Amino acid sequence: MIAQVRATAQQWMDSNIDDASRKAIVHMMKHDEKELVESFYKVLEFGTGGLRGIMGTGTNRMNIYTIGMATQGLANYLLKEFNHLEEISVVIAHDCRNNSPLFARTAADVLTANGIKAFLFDDLRPTPELSFAIRELKCQSGIMITASHNPKEYNGYKAYWEDGGQIINPHDVNIVNEVKRIASINDVKFIGDPSKIMMVGKEIDELFLKRSLSKALNVDMIEKHADIRIVFTPIHGTGVYMVPEALSRLGFRNIYNVPEQDVVSGDFPTVVSPNPEEPAALDLALKKAEEVEADLVMATDPDGDRVGIAVRNNKGKLILLNGNQTSVLLTYYLLSQWSAKGLLKGKEFMAKTIVTSELVTDIYKKYDITYFDVLTGFKFIADKIRKYEGELTFIGGGEESYGFMIGDFVRDKDAVTTCSMLAEIAAWAKEQEKSMFDLLLDIYQEYAFYKESLVSVVRKGKDGAEEIAAIMENFRTSPPVTIDGSEVTEVRDYLLQKSTDKSTGAESATGLPVSNVLQFLAENGTKVSIRPSGTEPKIKFYFSVRENLKSRNDYDKVNAALETRIEKIKEELQLN
Rounded CA-CA distance 317/161 in Å is 44
Q: Which of 404, 419, 446 is the last residue of a domain?
A: 446
Cα–chain center distance at 99: 21
CB-based contacts of 225: which residues, under 8 Å, 6+ apart? 426, 427, 430, 431
251 and 389 assigned to the same domain:
yes
**Closest to 512 (Cα-Cα) out of 373, 389, 403:** 373
Looking at every residue in the chain, the average pLDDT score rounds to 95
Taking CA atoms, 478 is separated from 240, 323, 393, 490, 506, in Å, by 48, 30, 42, 14, 18
Q: Which of 431, 446, 461 is the last residue of a domain?
A: 446
pLDDT bin (cut points 50, 70, 90) of residue 574 is confident
Whether 463 has a pLDDT exceeding 90, the answer reads no
440 and 317 assigned to the same domain:
yes
Whether 509 has a pLDDT exceeding 80, the answer reads yes
DSSP classification of residue 166: B
Whether 501 has a pLDDT exceeding 80, the answer reads yes
Taking CA atoms, 229 is separated from 280, 285, 289, in Å, by 21, 13, 8
Write phi, then psi, for 299 (nearest 5 degrees): -135, 130
- Do 131 and 412 form a contact (C-beta atoms < 8 A)? yes
Whether 576 has a pLDDT exceeding 80, the answer reads no
Cα–chain center distance at 497: 24
Q: Determine, yes or no, domain membership for 215.
A: no
Q: What CATH number is associated with residue 73?
A: 3.40.120.10
Write phi, then psi, for 245 (nearest 5 degrees): -65, -45
382 and 291 assigned to the same domain:
yes
- Show the domain range for 545: 449-572
Can you tell me the mean pLDDT for 260-271? 97
Rounded CA-CA distance 171/379 in Å is 12
What's the pLDDT score for residue 45?
80
Flag the least confident range among 113-117, 144-148, 531-535. 531-535
For residue 170, say if its preceding peptide bond is cis, omega within 30 degrees of 0: yes
* % of the chain at pLDDT higher than 90: 90
328 and 377 assigned to the same domain:
yes
Rounded CA-CA distance 151/439 in Å is 34
What's the pLDDT score for residue 575?
82
Please state the domain count of the chain. 3
Whether 536 has a pLDDT exceeding 80, the answer reads no
458 and 363 assigned to the same domain:
no
The angle formed by the CA atoms of residues 281, 285 and 290, to the nearest 5 degrees, is: 135
441 and 495 assigned to the same domain:
no
Q: Which of 144, 168, 200 is the last residue of a domain?
A: 200
439 and 463 assigned to the same domain:
no
What's the pLDDT score for residue 157?
96
- Please identify which of the residues 21, 148, 499, 515 carries the catalytic annotation: 148
Q: Determine, yes or no, domain membership for 36.
A: no
421 and 474 assigned to the same domain:
no
Write phi, then psi, for 255 (nearest 5 degrees): -110, 120
Element at 404 (helix H, strand E): strand 403-406
260 and 190 assigned to the same domain:
no
Q: Determine, yes or no, domain membership for 16.
A: no
pLDDT bin (cut points 50, 70, 90) of residue 350 is very high
Whether 289 has a pLDDT exceeding 90, the answer reads yes
Element at 476 (helix H, strand E): helix 461-477
Residue-wise burial string across 52-77, b where 16 or more C-beta atoms lie within 10 A, e elsewhere: bbbbbbbbbbbbbbbbbbbbbbbbbb
Whether 71 has a pLDDT exceeding 70, the answer reads yes
Is the whole model's pTM more than 0.85, yes or no?
yes
Question: Is 148 among the catalytic positions?
Answer: yes
Whether 49 has a pLDDT exceeding 90, the answer reads no
Taking CA atoms, 317 is separated from 149, 156, 551, in Å, by 27, 37, 20
402 and 473 assigned to the same domain:
no
pLDDT bin (cut points 50, 70, 90) of residue 389 is very high
pLDDT bin (cut points 50, 70, 90) of residue 534 is confident
How many residues would you count in the chain? 576
Q: Determine, yes or no, domain membership for 10.
A: no
Q: Determine, yes or no, domain membership for 213.
A: no
- Do 152 and 180 form a contact (C-beta atoms < 8 A)? no
* % of the chain at pLDDT higher than 70: 99
Q: What CATH number is associated with residue 536?
A: 3.30.310
481 and 430 assigned to the same domain:
no
Whether 48 has a pLDDT exceeding 70, the answer reads no
Q: Determine, yes or no, domain membership for 230.
A: yes
Rounded CA-CA distance 358/448 in Å is 10
Strand runs labelled E in 168-300: 197-200, 229-233, 254-257, 296-300
Q: What is the pLDDT of residues 188-197, one digit of tens each?
A: 999 999 999 9
Whether 47 has a pLDDT exceeding 80, the answer reads no
284 and 302 assigned to the same domain:
yes
Q: Determine, yes or no, domain membership for 547.
A: yes
Q: Determine, yes or no, domain membership for 22.
A: no
